[in-house]
Amino acid sequence: MGTRKTFYVGTLPVLLALVLGYFRPDLTQVLSGIHSIWTDGDAGDATQTPPKGHMQKFGLHVDKEKELIVMDHFPSPEDFYRDHMRQSVPLVVRGSLKHWPAVEKWKNEDYLREKFGHEDFVVMWNNITDHRHKSAMMMSMNEFLDQYRDKHIYLDGFVSPAMSKDLTIPKFLGCDAIIKRATQFSLLFNAAWSSTFVHVDGTENMFTQITGQRQWILIPPTHGKYLHVDDFNYHRGISPVEPEAVDLIKFPNVSKVDIYNITLYEGDIIYVPEGWYHQVRTMGGPPNIAVTIFMDYISCMEKGYPVDKTQEMLTEMCIAMREATPKEITCQERMEDMPMQEFIEKYGYLNPKVLNLVHDFETADRLYNFFSTTLKSGYAMPSLGFGLSGQPVDKAKPAASHALRMGYRLFDTDPDDESEEILGTILASTPDVKREDVFIVVKVHPRNLGREKTIASVQRSLTRLKTDYIDLVLIKAPSCDGMKFKCEANDNRGTWKESWEALEELNEGGKIRSLGVSNFKMSELRRLIGFAKVPLSVVQNNFNLHNRKTKLRQFCKDNGITFMAHGLMGVLETENGTRESPLLSHKMLDLAARKYRTTPGTIMIRWALNQNVTVTPTSTNLNHIAFNKYAPQLDVGESPWAMKMLTDFFPHVN
């Protein structure tokens, strides 16, 4: 690419409980089996006198809150380790980081736009699948600032190098023996609307409030057994208790929980040891911004989650692991109050993962290009692209521009609409994107079968695309028969064989790089392979969760042909002329989307990519375009059962 962009992505697996906690997805409606856990008739007697705090906010059940240790200055790193990290004792230091440039500068949105506006971050949305479930996408700081006050979106990503200039290493962490445990520096940013479930993080958490305030309610690890987390298997480390209205009849053990309650203000930092449950509510702003440093110390939550372990057993194991660590530390090097950028540059050797916090856009390209294929023609084609066909012109133009900006490099067009003209105009006016970096697919309509008409059709596409070559040309169908194509009786059409031979001529002349067909039967494919001089590189056909095309895909695999899907979203035209997708509302797909914290459409794309299917979904919704581009970055290995569920149990035909 002619230009380079940066993006900063929070590692979602590490932040599983944190992310889900902040966004409080409505998990009671996922499946009836899960819902039954929440409505267990044996959980309590609804006729008894409600206990104190019943149906009130979490924490109001106690007569007296416990007190956290609060200081107005940092302890030394040695004292902090001995008295807090090793002992699992939370700590709040008031006003200790007010000197950070970020505390004053980040209140100013003009400053954020000027300094960080073009950097990309992971943003969580809560209005895509339902009103509480969050989905991840990439968004620039400018785009986020344009929308975050009006929509429930939450920026959750790494602190970028430019942002790190406004931060320093907190003094009590400025020791090689402590800071070497850092795994990520994260940025959390919203409009002060978020409230979390009661949850636990699998890391040590050093959380600094930059602007606005946050209320923290902490629960000691030994009281985690009272939070009913063992009753809830949808995600680990989260209590099913609704923190806005705690049902103490259904969840009576919550009344036994000790509460530590404190509010962080600008420049305050709280240390939350691994294993301490917490519920957090943002207040003040917008903007409401925080920075947190996550550290691995004992990592017992990660190591100790076999399904046969109860929360109480896990807590006991974590306590034992912490007690087995050294009682004291010795600091060989100190970096107290060192600018964070300088630390990352100078001390990356302390923990290589710290340097990996900073990614440039090439990282996204590698993830995107990981799902790519080398065609039989020898050219590489991305496996995820953007479909332009069938869109109204006024919506197709901004959609295509947005897709290009988001990093899509495979574009599927159609000769029957304005998609070729739109894409050609956009590419011609975007000098930063080189032609050789974009893979363009065009089609020959069955009305243009025959040598002369096929050559004329391709020449028209070249002109409209303003290019001197096309990456892939597909014969759209072998005929008009049995297909919903508009063909007139007097079209004087030739045969698809004549069209293929014409495409071979154009290939030899350098006008086309790769050839393929769409909607062909296997018998027709066998015939084509028998006489083709230029290899058949791509076969496109209808493919989705209901219609797998198993035999056809196996045929393609056996012959080294790339299979490309159309109709992935299962959109159908209704009697009243509207277009709907029953697939996208299927409860099994919805469950998988919730599990991977994305949209049903995005998880369907990732499922198809895992089947080695090339996909080019179309959309005029700019947010969905961004979500779909995020599909290769989903960590489906975290919960492979959800992807396997779609493959093995979703009703389908082969």
The residue segments making up the domain with residue 411 are: 371-649
> Which of 294, 323, 351 is the endpoint of a domain?
351
Shared domain check, 347 and 375: no
**CB–CB of 181/296 below 8 Å?**
yes
> Which of 351, 382, 410 is the endpoint of a domain?
351
Tell me how many domains the chain contains: 2
Shared domain check, 330 and 465: no
Residue 366 lies in a domain: no
Tokens coding 385: 């692209």
Shared domain check, 414 and 344: no
Shared domain check, 419 and 347: no
Give the Cα separation of 180 and 182 in Å (integer).
5
Residue 365 lies in a domain: no
Other beta carbons within 10 Å of 169: 24
Shared domain check, 334 and 433: no
Question: Average pLDDT, whole number, for the chain?
Answer: 84
Residue 296 burial (CB < 10 Å; 0-12/13-18/19+)?
middle
Whichever domain contains 433, its CATH number is 3.20.20.100
**CB–CB of 318/294 below 8 Å?**
no
Residue 41 lies in a domain: no
**Predicted confidence (pLDDT) per residue in 528-547, tens digit:** 999 999 999 999 999 999 99
Residue 522 lies in a domain: yes
Residue 127 has pLDDT above 50, yes or no: no
Closest CA to 300 of 378, 203, 232: 203
Q: pLDDT band at residue 369, thresholds of 50, 70 and 90?
A: low
Residue 363 lies in a domain: no
The 3-state secondary structure of 279-316, one letter per residue: EEEEECCCCEEEEEEEECCCCHHHHCCCCCCCHHHHHH
Shared domain check, 194 and 108: yes
Please report the pLDDT score of residue 29 as a whole number. Answer: 36
Residue 360 lies in a domain: no
End-to-end CA distance of the chain: 40
Residue 2 has pLDDT above 70, yes or no: no
Shared domain check, 510 and 395: yes
Residue 3 lies in a domain: no
**Predicted confidence (pLDDT) per residue in 385-410, tens digit:** 999 998 889 999 999 998 988 889 99
Other beta carbons within 10 Å of 550: 13
Shared domain check, 576 and 536: yes
* CA-angle at 201, arms to 197 and 206, nearest 5°: 110
Residue 356 lies in a domain: no
Supply the pTM of this predicted model. Answer: 0.65
**Predicted confidence (pLDDT) per residue in 595-630, tens digit:** 777 888 999 999 999 999 999 999 988 888 888 888
Shared domain check, 130 and 56: yes
Closest CA to 618 of 410, 346, 359: 410
Shared domain check, 406 and 330: no
Tokens coding 549: 């095309």
Whichever domain contains 240, its CATH number is 2.60.120.650
Shared domain check, 334 and 452: no
The three-class DSSP label of residue 529 is helix
> Which of 351, 385, 406 is the endpoint of a domain?
351
Q: What percent of the chain has pLDDT over 70?
A: 82
E strand or H helix at 460: helix 451-465
Shared domain check, 263 and 156: yes
Give the Cα separation of 343 and 175 in Å (integer).
11
